[in-house]
């Protein structure tokens, strides 16, 4: 077991990368602490699998280091790294029994008696609810049972540094997914192993992980709890990708008075405004989640006049589309709240209105 550090890591599949777009992993620093349950979340192609494969040794990074407990691993082949990797599709020996599949990594490792092997296999089979299947040939198992055997093969070894899961539930029926996800959580609690779970599904990420690393264009743009990613997106992409629907964005103009949008002054914290001025950038965005926009009929200071254009009833809540100048702002309200007919007003309560410069969150210093 170990802490995994990625130090000034970058990777390009191209021999002669000419710019950032040629990098699957753009320069990053990251630490996965020993024993954590992490999700690596991001859209297709953002570099998740590449990052996992660099940790396990299947891919050698073109720049930077992979350290396990401070020791450089770059030159070590995968089989020497003690990393278990579970892929989308089960990797098992079809002709062996479930018992032999689970015992295989232990026999390979050597140094354990038959009894010790049996004890460990039984323990893992018990956790994975495979005890009744131990004598069955693996090829006769269902897809989810096979995937459980794959996971079990990683879990039996006491010397594993970490288990990396690369979208392991893709082949599993939806109704079994939640059971397996819970199982993984229990396994994590019981075995105290560092786990990194790759997914592009935010629900899967937040039910499994204590902390989520959100990846975008080859970089981890935020590493935090599901709540932190929701309440304080550090990058506009986090705001957009997390939540349903994602964050609303307005593109205000910076004037001597402050931030102006649709002819209205939108007040923000003075320190934040000062930082925006100093940045010299004109890529400024205001972000607010649909859950935090207030909707009413009062027009006045900090209540901006809008037109309701659509209401979508989604069972337990409604999504109201309002036209605010050139943009449609989405507001999420409880199902039983009446929606103003056409003329309405919206407000952006202070702690939830975020300011982004060059896509990064700008905040006031805390005392």
Ligand X SMILES: Nc1ncnc2c1ncn2[C@@H]1O[C@H](COP(=O)(O)OP(=O)(O)OP(=O)(O)O)[C@@H](O)[C@H]1O
Site of interaction with ligand X (CB under 6 A):
13, 24, 42, 44-50, 200
Tell me whether residue 205 or residue 357 sits nearer to ligand X (CB atom).
205
Q: Which two tokens stand for residue 113?
A: 């008696």
Report the nearest approach of ligand X to the CB of residue 26 (Å): 11
Given a contact cutoff of 8 angstroms between Cβ atoms, the answer to whether 156 and 105 are in contact is yes
Whole-angstrom distance, CA of residue 304 vs CA of residue 312: 22
Report the nearest approach of ligand X to the CB of residue 148 (Å): 22
Tell me whether residue 26 or residue 354 sits nearer to ligand X (CB atom).
26
Burial 128-143 (b: 16+ CB within 10 A, else e): bebeebbeeebeebee
Report the nearest approach of ligand X to the CB of residue 233 (Å): 19
The widest CA-to-CA distance across the chain, in whole angstroms, is 78
Report the nearest approach of ligand X to the CB of residue 171 (Å): 14
Given a contact cutoff of 8 angstroms between Cβ atoms, the answer to whether 220 and 30 are in contact is yes
Measure CA 333 to chain center: 26
Query: What would the DSSP string read from start to end of 211-261?
Result: EEEEEETTEEEEEE-HHHHHHS-SBHHHHHHSSSS--EEE--EE-SSSEEE
Tell me whether residue 240 or residue 352 sits nearer to ligand X (CB atom).
240
CB atoms under 10 Å from CB of 79, counted, come to 10
Report the nearest approach of ligand X to the CB of residue 150 (Å): 18
Report the nearest approach of ligand X to the CB of residue 258 (Å): 39
Burial 278-288 (b: 16+ CB within 10 A, else e): eeeeeebbbbb
Tell me whether residue 137 or residue 200 sits nearer to ligand X (CB atom).
200
Report the nearest approach of ligand X to the CB of residue 107 (Å): 32
Given a contact cutoff of 8 angstroms between Cβ atoms, the answer to whether 6 and 47 are in contact is no
The 3-state DSSP class for residue 292 equals coil
Q: Is 211 exposed, middle or buried (0-12, 13-18, 19+ CB in 10 A)?
A: middle
Report the nearest approach of ligand X to the CB of residue 165 (Å): 12
Q: For 247, how many CA atoms within 13 A lie in the half-sphere containing its CB?
A: 27
Helices and strands, number each (H, E), in the chain: 9, 22
């Amino acid at each position: 077991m170990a802490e995994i550090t990625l130090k000034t890591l970058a990777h390009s599949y191209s021999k002669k990368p000419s710019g950032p777009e040629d990098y699957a992993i753009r320069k990053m620093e990251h630490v996965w602490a020993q024993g954590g349950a992490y999700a690596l979340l991001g859209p297709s192609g953002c570099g998740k699998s590449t990052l996992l494969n660099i940790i396990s040794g299947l891919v050698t990074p073109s720049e930077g280091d992979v350290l396990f407990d401070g020791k450089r691993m770059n030159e070590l082949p995968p089989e020497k790294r003690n990393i278990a990797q579970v892929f989308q599709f089960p990797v098992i020996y079809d002709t062996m029994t479930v018992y032999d599949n689970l015992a295989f990594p232990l026999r390979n490792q050597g140094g354990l008696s038959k009894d010790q092997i049996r004890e460990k296999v039984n323990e893992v089979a018990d956790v994975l609810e495979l005890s009744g299947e131990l004598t069955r040939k693996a090829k006769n198992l269902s897809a989810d049972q096979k995937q459980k055997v794959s996971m079990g093969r990683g879990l039996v070894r006491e010397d594993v540094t970490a288990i990396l899961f690369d979208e392991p539930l893709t082949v599993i029926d939806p109704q079994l997914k939640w059971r397996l996800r819970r199982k993984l959580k229990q396994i994590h609690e019981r075995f105290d192993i560092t786990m990194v779970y790759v997914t592009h599904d935010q629900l899967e990420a937040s039910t499994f992980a204590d902390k989520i690393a959100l990846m975008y264009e080859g970089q981890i743009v935020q590493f935090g709890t599901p709540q932190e990613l929701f309440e304080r997106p550090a990058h506009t992409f986090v705001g957009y990708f997390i939540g349903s629907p994602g964050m609303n964005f307005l593109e205000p103009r910076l004037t001597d008075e402050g931030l102006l949008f649709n002819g209205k002054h939108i007040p923000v914290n003075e320190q934040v405004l000062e930082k925006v001025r100093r940045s010299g950038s004109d890529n400024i965005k205001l972000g607010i989640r649909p859950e935090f926009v207030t909707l009413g009929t009062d027009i006045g200071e900090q209540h901006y006049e809008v037109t309701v254009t659509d209401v979508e009833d989604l069972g337990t809540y409604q999504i109201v589309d309002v036209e605010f100048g050139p943009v449609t702002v989405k507001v999420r309200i409880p199902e039983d709240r009446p929606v103003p007919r056409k003329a309405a007003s919206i407000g952006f309560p202070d702690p939830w209105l975020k300011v982004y410069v060059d896509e990064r969150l700008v905040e006031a210093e805390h005392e």
